[in-house]
Amino acid sequence: MNFNELQLKVGKQFKKNWYKHKNGGGWVNKAAKVNKLVFIKKNAIVFSGQVLDNAKIFDNTLISGNARVSENAQIQGDAQVYGYALIIGDKWKKSPLFIVGSKHSLINSKEGFIQIGHRC
């Protein structure tokens, strides 16, 4: 994905605020916290938030807001991870439980754990 294609997905940007991640070639905004060892595929975007440890971001994924992807988590497909999302642990063999409530969401954010809102 080139910079013009990035802007089609996230809106008008200043190129000086972005760089291509060395491990995978995905776009990362300088405001995001991204470890050098994580993998961000060339069509993935990390707009803000954190991608840490051995996390892998594939396909057309968009990470933004205060989202945190860490440990050995893998995000694939056309996923959008944003808000106070916390994705930790290993990849899922099937979609985790996700319930949206009037004030907080409930998600099975790591095998054996339930997260309500942005707290585990």
52: which residues sit within 8 A by CB, 6+ positions away?
Answer: 33, 34, 35, 38, 68, 69, 70, 71
User: Which residue would you say has higher pLDDT here, 91 or 49?
Assistant: 49
Domain ranges of the chain: 3-92
Per-residue pLDDT at 120 exceeds 50:
no
pTM of the predicted structure, to 2 decimals: 0.76
**Which residues make beta-bridge pairs with 33?**
50
Q: Is the pLDDT of residue 34 over 90?
A: yes
pLDDT, tens digit (0-9, with 9 covering 90-100), for 76-111: 888 778 777 777 776 665 666 666 666 777 777 666
DSSP state string for 63-108: E-TT-EE-TT-EE-SS-EE-TT-EE-SS--SSPPPEEE-SS-EEEE
